[in-house]
């Protein structure tokens, strides 16, 4: 055993890179839980500033500092937009916070969560109570471990009011590649009620990697007969080192029509208290920067089962 000189920035790190321009070295104070499921590797770590944080396949997922920003952005606009959401489907959403936010609307009578990775959810139940907040034990919850596409295809006419897609990005060879295609989105439309709303996380909302967001937007736009309203928006997730994009596709209701007053009324009536998605902030979230609007035109294309997303497009 020997001791060696310590001078600069040393310690434990997880390195992640999202583009060829920058690699992030996240400082780790302690590795709390580590493991590997059939589908992915995971670490729960304690980080300075961010606190308890989940990484999947060495990609930061959410931290206690601002998981609420990501998950409120994921869930609350769609739930609030629907005048009376009773039946909700969550696709993915492993940490349980997406489910918890759906259940926070007391109009909800049933929430089904379909997540392929049972081992991960079992781990989350034990180690991430700050995220799921007991939602897996809510009597309104049904938890299913199955491929989300298969589930949705079988649920034609099921009349979900809201479908929340909190899935991994469409990476080649990854489990979610065909959950971002025109064909799948048609099945989604058929599983929704007549005024149903679909929302999905859609990747970076910035100038370095707008490609995924642009293609998903274009694909949903191509389904005008199903989804006459398609609105991109974003959440300012500090942990992600960039704004994060979501796209809401709706059969009837348009988020741009929702006034702060109406939002406040609905949230209060349903017993929902938010920290990020507030009546005041709703319109700003749906105001995309110019460069994202240009990116949709410049880089967007319709994704299909035959030609799904390719990361290096």
Per CB under 8 A, does 259 bind a second copy? no
Backbone angles phi, psi at 62, to 5 degrees: -170, 150
| CB-based burial, 146-179: b 16+ in 10 Å, e otherwise | ebbbebbbebeebebbbbbbbbbbbeeebbbbbb
Among 84, 238, 265, 307, binds a second copy (CB under 8 A): 238
Per CB under 8 A, does 99 bind a second copy? no
Query: For residues 140 and 292, what is the distance between their CA atoms, to the nearest angstrom?
Result: 38
Among 37, 58, 136, 195, binds a second copy (CB under 8 A): 58
Query: For residues 67 and 115, what is the distance between their CA atoms, to the nearest angstrom?
Result: 19
Task: Please count the other Cβ atoms lying within 10 Å of the Cβ belonging to residue 186.
Answer: 16
Of residues 77 and 222, the one with the C-beta less far from a second copy: 77
Contact between 279 and 102 under an 8 Å Cβ cutoff? The reply is no
- Counting residues that bind a second copy (by CB under 8 A) gives 86
State the nearest-atom distance from the C-beta of 195 to a second copy, in Å: 27
Collapsing DSSP states into helix, strand and coil, what is residue 203? Answer: strand
**166 labelled catalytic:** yes
Query: For residues 17 and 93, what is the distance between their CA atoms, to the nearest angstrom?
Result: 22
Task: Specify which residues 31 forms β-bridges with.
Answer: 45
Of residues 15 and 194, the one with the C-beta less far from a second copy: 15
Contact between 58 and 25 under an 8 Å Cβ cutoff? The reply is no
Among 37, 65, 195, 223, binds a second copy (CB under 8 A): 65
Of residues 220 and 222, the one with the C-beta less far from a second copy: 220
Of residues 85 and 96, the one with the C-beta less far from a second copy: 96
Among 157, 273, 290, 306, binds a second copy (CB under 8 A): 290
State the nearest-atom distance from the C-beta of 183 to a second copy, in Å: 20
Of residues 14 and 193, the one with the C-beta less far from a second copy: 14
Q: Strands 51-56 and 59-63, how do they pair?
A: antiparallel
CA distances to 83, 137, 189, 218 from 230, rounded to whole Å, are 18, 33, 13, 9
Catalytic option among 46, 138, 166, 254:
166
Q: Which stretch binds a second copy (CB under 8 A): 47-55, 139-147, 213-221, 248-256?
A: 47-55
Per CB under 8 A, does 297 bind a second copy? no
Per CB under 8 A, does 273 bind a second copy? no
- Between 66 and 85, how does the x/- string for binding to a second copy read (CB under 8 A)? x--xx---------------
Among 8, 173, 257, 273, binds a second copy (CB under 8 A): 8
Using left for φ > 0, alpha for ψ between -120 and 50, and beta otherwise, residue 208 falls in alpha
Site for a second copy in 152-211 (CB under 8 A): 166-169, 171, 174, 176, 201, 203-204, 206-209
């Amino acid at each position: 055993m020997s001791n060696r000189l310590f001078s600069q920035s040393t310690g434990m790190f997880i390195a992640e890179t999202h583009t060829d321009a920058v690699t992030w070295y996240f400082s780790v104070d302690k590795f709390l839980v580590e493991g590997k499921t059939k589908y992915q590797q995971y670490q729960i770590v304690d980080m300075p500033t961010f606190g308890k944080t989940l990484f999947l396949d060495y990609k930061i997922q959410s931290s206690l500092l601002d998981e609420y920003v990501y998950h409120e952005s994921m869930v609350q606009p769609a739930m609030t937009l629907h005048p009376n959401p009773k039946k909700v489907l969550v696709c993915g959403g492993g940490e349980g916070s997406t489910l918890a936010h759906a259940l926070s609307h007391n109009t909800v009578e049933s929430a089904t969560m379909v997540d392929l990775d049972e081992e991960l959810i079992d781990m989350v139940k034990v180690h991430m109570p700050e995220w799921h907040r007991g939602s897996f034990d809510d009597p309104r919850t049904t938890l299913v471990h199955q491929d989300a596409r298969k589930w949705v295809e079988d649920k034609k006419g099921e009349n979900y009011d809201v479908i929340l897609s909190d899935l991994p990005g469409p990476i080649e060879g990854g489990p979610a590649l065909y959950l971002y295609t025109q064909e799948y989105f048609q099945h989604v439309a058929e599983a929704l009620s007549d005024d149903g709303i679909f929302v999905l996380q859609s990747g970076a909302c910035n100038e370095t990697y707008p490609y995924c967001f642009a293609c998903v937007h274009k694909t949903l736009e191509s389904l005008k007969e199903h989804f006459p309203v398609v609105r991109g928006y974003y959440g300012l997730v500090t942990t992600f080192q960039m704004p994060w994009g979501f796209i809401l596709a709706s059969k009837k209701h348009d988020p741009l029509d929702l006034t702060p007053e109406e939002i406040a009324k609905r949230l209060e009536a349903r017993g929902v208290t938010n920290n990020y998605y507030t009546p005041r902030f709703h319109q700003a979230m749906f105001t995309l920067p110019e460069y994202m609007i240009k990116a949709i035109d410049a880089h967007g294309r319709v994704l299909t089962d035959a030609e799904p997303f390719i990361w290096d497009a």
